[in-house]
A and B are shown apart, each in its own frame.
Chain A
Amino acid sequence: MSVPYAKLPAWVDYGLIPLINLAVAFLVAGLVVLAVGESPLRAASLLIEGAFGYGEGIGFTLYYATNFIFTGLAVAVAFHCGLFNIGGEGQAYVAGLGVALPCLWFDAYLPWYVIFPIAILGSAMVGAAWALIPGWLQARRGSHVVITTIMFNFIASSLMVYVLVDVLKPAGSMAPQTRTFAENGQLPRLDWLMSWFGLDIGGAPFNLSFLLALVAAFLVWVLIWRTKLGYEIRTMGFSPKAARYAGVSESRIIIITMMLSGALAGMMALNPIMGDQHSMQLDFVGGAGFVGIAVALMGRSHPVGIVPAGILFGMLYQGGAEISFEMPQISRDMITIIQGLVILFAGALENMFRPAITAFFATMTTARAGKTLPAGE
């Protein structure tokens, strides 16, 4: 009952099956490309060329990947606790305040390396606060976190439009955005890092927050698998009953996990605001919160999977933009489709190919066993 599928070798479970799911998702995406009258193979080569073919492309790829690593980690942390945080989008959006306000306040007085930690803290705290409400409602009032986080995305969107249009927009400006920060409110770009590899990132906004994302990924791994809190989160995620038995407070863990998840989502705001636009603009999250779902599913909620999955989606975003120059039929919306397909095949249909693969490995092993052990039973 509890073991619906026979045991498979770990490399099949964590390597082969996700790869097959991913391959199918891209295959279907290829069919869509075919349907609009373009060659999938050419599209793929343009994509890879655009994302990795030259320094600036790589810079952009990693810039986007930074967003997705943060939001992917956010979704993953919640998954470990059995929670589905669809609210990364809203959490990151509101957390923009935690980045933008310190920059607006201090960019004339403090150097960037002082503002940066304040902004990290600010974004994490605001993101955590925005996730706290659904977390609290789930923990104390039993309101399903999926629905409340969806609602909070919309509430966040309304709130931020109001804040940007009616509060933060400089007088006399038409565009709903804050003023541009002075240099102290801008993160250093990582040209030096790329120049080690002989690459020139050109105008790509590849910046310090990428390294922060990698640090966050490592810290999430430590947190989930190597700390007491992580142990409690996983216990809660697998079996709330066992958590209660073990003396783990259900509501405490739910609230803490949601806040951690919100904090990670919130830190994503650093990258576009301090790293690229140097101001807070309308809708600066641009769907990254939702991409996080695909990234977490593809990465199997493990940082080791999430970082490459984030880079893969960064590649799709950057490469997708490049394709649209060559193939006007294929805009960046193609990425939205691929994102949906990845969520479908790596998430909702993750076990579709498992029975066949299990059967294949079962025949393999019995065939091998048959040679050495002639007697059955």
Chain B
Amino acid sequence: MTDIAIELRGIDKKFGLVHANKDIDLRVRKGSIHGIIGENGAGKSTLMSILYGFYQADDGEIFVDGRKADIKDPNAAIAAGIGMVHQHFMLVENFTVLENVMLGAEDSQILTSGISRARQELKRLEHEYELEVDPDAIIEELPVGLQQRVEILKALYRGAEILILDEPTGVLTPAEADHLFRILKQLKDQGKTILLITHKLREIMAITDEVSVMRRGEMVATRKTAETSVEELAELMVGRRVLLHVEKGPALPGEVLLSVENLTVRDSRGCDMVKDVSFEVRAGEIVGIAGVAGNGQSELLQAVSGIRRAVNGRVLLKGEPIHVTGKADPSELRHRGLAHVPEDRQHMGLVLSFDESENSILGYHDDPRYLNGAFLDIDAIRADAAEKIEKYDIRPPNPRLKTANFSGGNQQKIVLAREMERDPQVLIIGQPTRGVDVGAIEFIHKRIIEMRDAGKAVLLVSVELDEIRSLSDRVLVMFDGRIVGERAPDTGEGELGLLMAGVENSREAAE
């Protein structure tokens, strides 16, 4: 017997030219909660997918309970007692909870008898770990928190002793996240081993016993959580001191350029995602919207930029109404001085199969300067693209290169150049640095500040609280579709975190 549940030795994995995991060693103690932290793209998910048999390592060995394990597919992982809760739930949406739990773990070819046995076993697990969920509920009708619970039940049903959770709180409200942590602690008390992958330092500090830090495909350190600090982990993650404060002068807010009044937006399932939201953005200020992903920020951005129809409310751009409940047209809004850097860069902000110059006119393709009547003026478009490439240092500097061949940071620069160089009055930016390399982050932040200093109104949405705090002049917190408070950017993380968690403060949120 050994007290090491999992040991990885020299795990190495390449995807084409990307070296996702470099010679990784990791030891996870039995009955502990072990955090793995790292920035987006540090290789955490790849490593866990290898452990779960989803990918094969090019090199290296895996030991489970001290025995060498050949995990060639998820089946082998399940057999070795490893279960995984994926970031995007792997559930069949129109199946019942019971059917989802059984899938792949049916005990015979014919289900009739197995169903009742599965039902009993599910009841037992629910009881033992306080994971109540109606076994006959249809998945798509359950809230996200409960869907995740089904994922955990699936793993436990298969007899998992080791549970991997990949960014489990990304889709949860803070209350749901706290509940999840209680469940995880309980699982730990029952002797399960838990691997928690996250890029949120707060979670690591709150719940783990040990933490390993990954950076650019390498495992850079492992610490006992009690013996480390947020600052040390942050430094290990990024590789240098995090620049928490972007250089910027005080804001000089002017007239109101964007005003949102009682906006309500419904999603395709008919749920109200934005509920009666009102706020203003003035010239020369950056208003940041903080919140856990999925609390209505995306729908808000899309409604204000005319992509998604709102069910109620008014939006005024420079005092003139935008028909957000009717025929708001993104191209018309562009002409009126509203630029939008969308959250989903790869599918919305860009057409990856287009060449760079074609993307540099996306949304502005009806501008006469790019057209000769109904025809595209290719020379003008390429010349214009080349100018932007130069100004935004987009690499490689080739307007005819297919956009998919640019890195994430350069792709984002293509979008920024397109939107900012139109000299808009109002700039709406969603997740400006998601999937962007560190070097480009600073560049992008600087540009956003420059826009503010040039007297533009900037509305910023990001799930990175640090980013919101360092860029914004005012911070609005969104929870469950509502603006639950406004704070100054230097408000403590704890207080903002509570607001993001929907915890009503003792003192009334200042409007």
Say if the two chains contact directly (CB < 8 Å): yes
Least CB distance from B302 to A in Å reads: 9
Q: Which of A228, A232, A241 contacts B371 (CB 8 A)?
A: A228
Q: Which of B332, B340, B352, B371 contacts A245 (CB 8 A)?
A: B340
Tell which of B134-142, B273-281, B341-349, B500-508 binds the partner. Answer: B341-349
Q: Contact at A246–B347, with CB atoms within 8 Å?
A: no
* B-chain residues with CB within 8 Å of residue A222 when the two chains form the complex: 375
Q: Is A198 close to B, CB under 8 A?
A: no
CB-based nearest B residue for A362: B16
Residues 215-237 (chain A) with a chain B CB within 8 angstroms? 222, 225-232, 234-235
Q: Contact at A247–B334, with CB atoms within 8 Å?
A: yes
CB-based nearest B residue for A6: B16
Residues 463-497 (chain B) with a chain A CB within 8 angstroms? none
Q: Contact at B330–A247, with CB atoms within 8 Å?
A: yes
Q: Which of B333, B348, B354, B376 contacts A228 (CB 8 A)?
A: B376
* B-chain residues with CB within 8 Å of residue A234 when the two chains form the complex: 351, 354
Q: Contact at A228–B330, with CB atoms within 8 Å?
A: no
Q: Contact at B376–A245, with CB atoms within 8 Å?
A: no
Q: Is B398 close to A, CB under 8 A?
A: no
Q: Contact at B332–A238, with CB atoms within 8 Å?
A: no
Bound complex: CA A222 to CA B372 (Å): 13
* B-chain residues with CB within 8 Å of residue A239 when the two chains form the complex: 347-348, 351-352
Bound complex: CA A272 to CA B237 (Å): 71
Least CB distance from B428 to A in Å reads: 12
Q: Is A375 close to B, CB under 8 A?
A: no
Least CB distance from A6 to B in Å reads: 7
Tell which of B51-59, B70-78, B359-367 binds the partner. Answer: B359-367
Say yes or no: A247-B351 contact (C-beta < 8 A), given A226-B378, A228-B376.
no
Bound complex: CA A348 to CA B115 (Å): 40
Bound complex: CA A239 to CA B358 (Å): 14
Bound complex: CA A44 to CA B67 (Å): 63
Q: Contact at A228–B351, with CB atoms within 8 Å?
A: no
Say yes or no: A247-B363 contact (C-beta < 8 A), given A235-B351, A239-B348, A242-B349.
yes
Q: Contact at A247–B331, with CB atoms within 8 Å?
A: yes
Q: Contact at A235–B346, with CB atoms within 8 Å?
A: no
* A-chain residues with CB within 8 Å of residue B344 when the two chains form the complex: 241
Q: Which of B307, B352, B374, B378 contacts A238 (CB 8 A)?
A: B352
* A-chain residues with CB within 8 Å of residue B332 when the two chains form the complex: 247
> How would residues 4 to 37 of chain A score, 1 for a CB under 8 Å from any chain B CB and 0 otherwise?
0011000000000000000000000000000000
Least CB distance from B303 to A in Å reads: 13
Say yes or no: A246-B331 contact (C-beta < 8 A), given A226-B378, A227-B374, A239-B347.
yes
CB-based nearest A residue for B17: A6
* A-chain residues with CB within 8 Å of residue B404 when the two chains form the complex: 2-3
* A-chain residues with CB within 8 Å of residue B340 when the two chains form the complex: 245
CB-based nearest B residue for A246: B363
Least CB distance from A19 to B in Å reads: 22
Q: Is B94 close to A, CB under 8 A?
A: no
CB-based nearest B residue for A231: B365
Q: Is A42 close to B, CB under 8 A?
A: no
Bound complex: CA A244 to CA B362 (Å): 11
Q: Contact at A244–B352, with CB atoms within 8 Å?
A: no
Q: Which of A6, A228, A242, A247 contacts B375 (CB 8 A)?
A: A228
Q: Contact at B376–A247, with CB atoms within 8 Å?
A: no
Q: Contact at A246–B330, with CB atoms within 8 Å?
A: yes
> How would residues 87 to 127 of chain A score, 1 for a CB under 8 Å from any chain B CB and 0 otherwise?
00000000000000000000000000000000000000000
Q: Contact at B365–A242, with CB atoms within 8 Å?
A: no
Least CB distance from A161 to B in Å reads: 40
Q: Contact at A2–B346, with CB atoms within 8 Å?
A: yes
Residues 280-334 (chain B) with a chain A CB within 8 angstroms? 305-307, 329-334
CB-based nearest A residue for B358: A231
Say yes or no: A228-B347 contact (C-beta < 8 A), given A245-B340, A247-B332.
no
Q: Contact at B330–A242, with CB atoms within 8 Å?
A: no
Q: Contact at A242–B307, with CB atoms within 8 Å?
A: no
Q: Is B190 close to A, CB under 8 A?
A: no
Least CB distance from B22 to A in Å reads: 12
Bound complex: CA A346 to CA B374 (Å): 34
Q: Contact at B329–A247, with CB atoms within 8 Å?
A: yes
* B-chain residues with CB within 8 Å of residue A242 when the two chains form the complex: 347-351, 362
CB-based nearest A residue for B405: A7
Q: Is B353 close to A, CB under 8 A?
A: yes
Q: Contact at B362–A226, with CB atoms within 8 Å?
A: no
CB-based nearest A residue for B362: A246
Q: Contact at B365–A228, with CB atoms within 8 Å?
A: yes
Residues 335-369 (chain A) with a chain B CB within 8 angstroms? none
Least CB distance from A162 to B in Å reads: 40
* A-chain residues with CB within 8 Å of residue B331 when the two chains form the complex: 246-248
Q: Contact at A226–B376, with CB atoms within 8 Å?
A: yes
Bound complex: CA A227 to CA B319 (Å): 35
Residues 113-167 (chain A) with a chain B CB within 8 angstroms? none
- Among B305, B334, B376, max chain A CB count under 10 A is at B376
CB-based nearest B residue for A232: B365
CB-based nearest B residue for A5: B16
Bound complex: CA A6 to CA B15 (Å): 11
Bound complex: CA A244 to CA B302 (Å): 10
* B-chain residues with CB within 8 Å of residue A238 when the two chains form the complex: 351-354
Least CB distance from A35 to B in Å reads: 40
Least CB distance from A369 to B in Å reads: 13
Residues 389-432 (chain B) with a chain A CB within 8 angstroms? 404-405
Q: Contact at A245–B349, with CB atoms within 8 Å?
A: yes
CB-based nearest B residue for A3: B404
> How would residues 65 to 76 of chain A score, 1 for a CB under 8 Å from any chain B CB and 0 otherwise?
000000000000
Bound complex: CA A234 to CA B351 (Å): 9
Q: Contact at A245–B374, with CB atoms within 8 Å?
A: no
CB-based nearest A residue for B381: A231
Q: Contact at A2–B352, with CB atoms within 8 Å?
A: yes
Residues 33-91 (chain B) with a chain A CB within 8 angstroms? none
Bound complex: CA A248 to CA B307 (Å): 10
Bound complex: CA A238 to CA B344 (Å): 15
CB-based nearest A residue for B365: A231
- Among B306, B365, B404, max chain A CB count under 10 A is at B365
Q: Which of A3, A231, A244, A246 contacts B376 (CB 8 A)?
A: A231
Least CB distance from B356 to A in Å reads: 14
CB-based nearest B residue for A1: B15
Q: Contact at A229–B363, with CB atoms within 8 Å?
A: no
* B-chain residues with CB within 8 Å of residue A226 when the two chains form the complex: 375-376, 378
Q: Contact at B351–A227, with CB atoms within 8 Å?
A: no
Least CB distance from A220 to B in Å reads: 14
Least CB distance from B45 to A in Å reads: 12
Bound complex: CA A187 to CA B354 (Å): 42
Bound complex: CA A242 to CA B358 (Å): 12
Bound complex: CA A246 to CA B360 (Å): 11
Bound complex: CA A185 to CA B258 (Å): 64
20 contacts between A and B (CB under 8 A): A2-B346, A7-B405, A226-B378, A228-B371, A228-B374, A228-B376, A231-B358, A231-B376, A235-B351, A235-B354, A238-B351, A238-B353, A239-B347, A239-B352, A241-B348, A242-B362, A244-B348, A245-B349, A245-B362, A246-B330
Binding site for B on A (CB under 8 A): 2-3, 6-7, 222, 225-232, 234-235, 238-239, 241-242, 244-248
Q: A7-B405, A226-B375, A244-B330 are in contact. List 8 more A-B contacts (CB 8 A).
A: A222-B375, A226-B376, A228-B374, A235-B351, A241-B347, A245-B340, A246-B363, A248-B331
Smallest CB-CB A-B distances: 7 pairs: A247-B331, A247-B330, A246-B363, A241-B348, A245-B348, A241-B347, A238-B351
